[in-house]
Structure 1
Amino acid sequence: MIISASRRTDIPAFFAREFMESIRAGFRTVRNPYSGRETRLSLAPADVECIVFWSKNPEPLLPFLPELEERGYRFYFQFAITPYGADIERNLPPKRRILQTFRSLSEQIGAEKVIWRYDPVIFSAEWTAERHCEMFRRMADALAPHTKQCIISFMDFYGKCLRRPECRVFREPSEAEMLDLAAELSATARSRGLRISACAEALDLTSAGIEPAHCIDPDLIETLTGHIIKRTKDRSQRPECGCAVSRDIGTYATCRHNCVYCYAN
Structure 2
Amino acid sequence: MIISASRRTDIPAFYWNWFEERLREQFVLVRNPLNFHQVSRVALQPEVIDGMVFWTKNPAPMLGQLSVLAPYVYYFQFTLNAYGQEIESNLPTLRQRIKTFQRLSELVGPARVIWRYDPILLGPGYDLDYHSTAFAELAAQLAGSTRKCIISFLDYYPKINRRLQALQLTGLTAAEQRQLAHRLATIARRYDLALETCAEKLELADLGIGHARCIDAELLGRLGGCRMTVVKDKNQRHECGCAFSIDIGAYNTCLHGCCYCYANHSQAQAQKQAALLNSSAPLLCSTLRGDDKVTERKMQLLRQAQTELF
Gaps of 5+ in 1: none
Q: Structure 1 residues 167, 150: CA separation in 2 closer, same or farther (over 3 Å shift)?
A: farther
1:222 correspondence with 2:250: no
Residue identity in the other structure for 1:200 = A
1:236 correspondence with 2:235: yes
Q: In the alignment, which residue of structure 1 is the partner of 2:97?
A: 98
Gaps of 5+ in 2: 265-310
Equivalent pair of 1:13/1:61 in contact (CA under 8 Å): yes
1:44 correspondence with 2:17: no
Deviation string 1:165-185 (CA, Å, 9 cap, x unpaired) is: 655511232111100100110
Equivalent pair of 1:56/1:80 in contact (CA under 8 Å): yes
Equivalent pair of 1:167/1:260 in contact (CA under 8 Å): no
Q: In the alignment, which residue of structure 1 is the partner of 2:274?
A: none
Measure, in 2, the Cα distance between the counterparts of 1:186 and 1:107.
25
Structure 1 segment 95-244 matched on structure 2, within 5 A = 95-164=94-163, 168-244=167-243
Measure, in 1, the Cα distance between the counterparts of 2:68 and 2:31.
26
Measure, in 1, the Cα distance between the counterparts of 2:102 and 2:92.
15
Residue identity in the other structure for 1:58 = P
1:67 correspondence with 2:68: yes
Q: 3-state DSSP class of the match of 2:143?
A: helix
Measure, in 1, the Cα distance between the counterparts of 2:29 and 2:171.
38
Q: In the alignment, which residue of structure 1 is the partner of 2:256?
A: 257
Deviation at 1:125, TM superposition (A): 3.4
Deviation string 1:83-110 (CA, Å, 9 cap, x unpaired) is: 0011100000111111111011000000
Measure, in 2, the Cα distance between the counterparts of 1:207 and 1:168.
34
Q: In the alignment, which residue of structure 1 is the partner of 2:11?
A: 11
Report the structure, 1 or 2, having the larger helix content: 1
1:34 correspondence with 2:30: no
1:25 correspondence with 2:16: no
Equivalent pair of 1:137/1:188 in contact (CA under 8 Å): yes
Equivalent pair of 1:116/1:149 in contact (CA under 8 Å): yes
Deviation string 1:32-63 (CA, Å, 9 cap, x unpaired) is: 10012101100001011111000000111212
Deviation string 1:115-145 (CA, Å, 9 cap, x unpaired) is: 0000111112321101100010000000012
Measure, in 2, the Cα distance between the counterparts of 1:95 and 1:166.
25
Equivalent pair of 1:55/1:77 in contact (CA under 8 Å): yes
Deviation at 1:218, TM superposition (A): 1.9
Measure, in 2, the Cα distance between the counterparts of 1:80 and 1:160.
21
Deviation string 1:60-91 (CA, Å, 9 cap, x unpaired) is: 1212211221xx11110000000001110000
Residue identity in the other structure for 1:124 = G
Equivalent pair of 1:183/1:209 in contact (CA under 8 Å): no
Measure, in 2, the Cα distance between the counterparts of 1:172 and 1:96.
26
Deviation at 1:162, TM superposition (A): 0.3
Measure, in 1, the Cα distance between the counterparts of 2:72 and 2:171.
40
Equivalent pair of 1:200/1:213 in contact (CA under 8 Å): yes
Measure, in 2, the Cα distance between the counterparts of 1:218 and 1:120.
23
Over aligned residue pairs, what C-alpha RMSD do you find? Answer: 1.1
Deviation at 1:157, TM superposition (A): 1.1
Measure, in 1, the Cα distance between the counterparts of 2:81 and 2:171.
18
Measure, in 1, the Cα distance between the counterparts of 2:166 and 2:250.
23
Deviation at 1:247, TM superposition (A): 0.3
Residue identity in the other structure for 1:178 = Q
Q: Structure 1 residues 132, 232: CA separation in 2 closer, same or farther (over 3 Å shift)?
A: same
Q: Structure 1 residues 144, 83: CA separation in 2 closer, same or farther (over 3 Å shift)?
A: same
Q: Output the TM-score relative to the length of structure 2.
A: 0.83
Larger Rg belongs to: 2
Measure, in 1, the Cα distance between the counterparts of 2:17 and 2:42.
18
Q: Output the TM-score relative to the length of structure 1.
A: 0.97
Residue identity in the other structure for 2:152 = S
Report the more deviating stretch, 200-209 or 149-158.
Answer: 200-209
Deviation string 1:8-32 (CA, Å, 9 cap, x unpaired) is: 0000000000000000000000111
